[in-house]
Amino acid sequence: MRRSLKQQFQDQGISLPVTSFHDYADALARYMRFTGLFSISGSRIILTKGREGEIEEILTLKRELYPYKDRDEFYRYFGNPDVPVLSTDHNPNILQQQIQELTAELTTLYAELGVLQQGMPLESSVSLPQPLPIDIKELRTLLDDLRDKKKQVELGIMDIRGRGPEKLLEALIFYDDILNHQTFDAPTFLEWNTWRVFVALDRAKKIKPNPVMDENLEPVSTAAGNGPDMEVSFPDFHVVPEVTMRTGADQERYESMPVIRHVEDFIRKVTYEETYGLFIAPRIHRDTVVKFFMAWKQGGFYGESVKIVPLTVAQFREVARSYSTRRDFQPAKLLRLFEQIGEALQGTRSPLQCQDEIPTAIEKWKQQLQDSTS
């Protein structure tokens, strides 16, 4: 089919970029997932649990795809959120049933979380009004609140079940799919997977992921631009990871100043406790290195040094892989790596030297790690 469509465009004298069909599929997958009706599993789009009835109803609708020639008319119709009218728009019984099913599911999830945390089931904190309201707007608000609560409980479960060497190795291997564009949205999955790595390392006091995730904890979109991709707090220091798939000159243009600002804002939020930014990309552009070099040596907007460690995905994997065969990750060791990179940077006179020193610092750190465990 793709070849047929491509030939049709070529016959009409229309040249399409090589990635056009991939972009169309990617956009369609995004739209489907933003409805909340769909999630993903590996490379497949799947139905969100509990929303099957809504999808079946949509599929039974008889709708003509009229070839509108007027663009405004097209968007007025296809962009109207009130069309088509579904049962969930006027039948409170369906929404009440979804609420009851979600409440039962939450009861099970709370019990599981309690066993994982304390060795005994945790009683659900969900309290439904009795009787349930019949107003559609009230029911939807209640349903949305329950879905948010379910996501938070599942994040708590993920924070425990996602720990350990096996989960770490799984996340490190998954970087290959991301870098080879075998996922729906590489930038979003890069953020999400890096969060999984820090969860698997299993020593943080708190990890706050900022990518938008669906009800299955699969990533939907990257973190908002007004904050960092994630925040990781260890007992003695903090890490503010920022990731990107950009590798060219636009990396510095779109990433460097926002990253510096996010790290600097976080430092002020934790009242100047020891904090490092961690910038991860498939390749670090030299212009980006210049900005981070200057921020570390001369300070950011407020004048204090902003310490940002730029690592390629390969270098970050190399560091994390040291713990993929054993459960002895010590945050102090990671802090020591950042400190050694900082010491190397302070001794350099140019960003180029700084970039060259990072692989040397990593090798030195790995050797120290090996010596301390042998």
Q: pLDDT tens digits for 121-133? A: 888 888 999 999 9
Instruction: Read off φ and ψ for residue 203, nearest 5 degrees.
Output: -140, 0
Q: What is the CA radius of gyration of the chain?
A: 24
Task: Please check whether residue 102 is in contact with residue 147, taking contact to mean a CB–CB distance below 8 angstroms.
Answer: yes
pLDDT of residue 307: 96
What's at 87, amino acid-wise?
A: S
- Alpha helices of the chain — where are they, by DSSP H? 2-11, 20-34, 52-60, 71-78, 92-118, 136-161, 165-179, 186-201, 250-251, 257-269, 286-298, 313-321, 331-346, 351-373
For residues 195 and 208, the answer to whether their CB atoms sit within 8 Å is: no
Please give the span between the terminal C-alpha atoms of the chain, in angstroms, as a whole number: 58
pLDDT band at 15 (very low <50, low <70, confident <90, very high): low
- Measured distance CA(293)–CA(345) in Å, rounded: 8
| Eight-state DSSP code of residue 87 | G
Q: Each residue of 32-51: pLDDT tens digit?
A: 888 888 888 767 888 888 88
Q: Are 288 and 252 in contact (CB under 8 A)?
A: yes
Following CA atoms 257, 258, 260, 261 in sequence, which dihedral angle do they give, to the nearest 10 degrees?
Answer: 110
Residue 131: cis peptide before it, omega within 30 degrees of 0 = yes
Phi, psi at 27, each rounded to 5°: -65, -40
Q: Give residue-wise pLDDT tens across range 133-190.
A: 999 999 999 999 999 999 999 999 999 999 999 999 999 999 999 999 888 889 999 9
Beta bridge partners of 212: 221
Residues 126 and 374: their CA atoms lie apart, in Å, by 51
Statement: residue 3 has pLDDT above 60: no
CB 113 within 8 A of CB 157: yes
The pLDDT, as a whole number, for residue 73 is 82
Residue 120 one-letter amino acid: M
How much is the average pLDDT of 67-94?
84
How would you class 116 by CB atoms within 10 Å of its CB: exposed for 0-12, middle for 13-18, buried for 19 or more? middle
Q: How far apart are CA 356 and CA 243, in angstroms?
A: 20
Whether 191 contacts 211, CB under 8 Å: yes
- Integer Cα distance of 258 and 235 in angstroms: 26
Q: How do residues 333-365 score in pLDDT, each as one tens digit?
A: 999 999 999 888 878 888 878 888 899 999 999
* Residue of higher predicted confidence among 63 and 187: 187
- Condensed to tens digits (0 to 9), the pLDDT of residues 282-328 reads 999 999 999 999 999 888 888 889 999 999 999 999 999 988 876 67
Distance, in Å, from the CA atom of 244 to the CA atom of 241, rounded to the nearest integer, reads 10
Residue type, 84: P
- Per domain, the residue ranges of the chain are 1-32, 35-79, 92-160, 164-373
Q: What tokens were used for 54?
A: 């809504």
Nearest of 157, 151, 175 to residue 321 by alpha carbon: 175
Domain at 164-373: CATH code: 3.40.91.50
> Any idea what the Cα angle at residue 308 is, between residues 306 and 312, rounded to 5°?
170
SS3 call for 27: helix
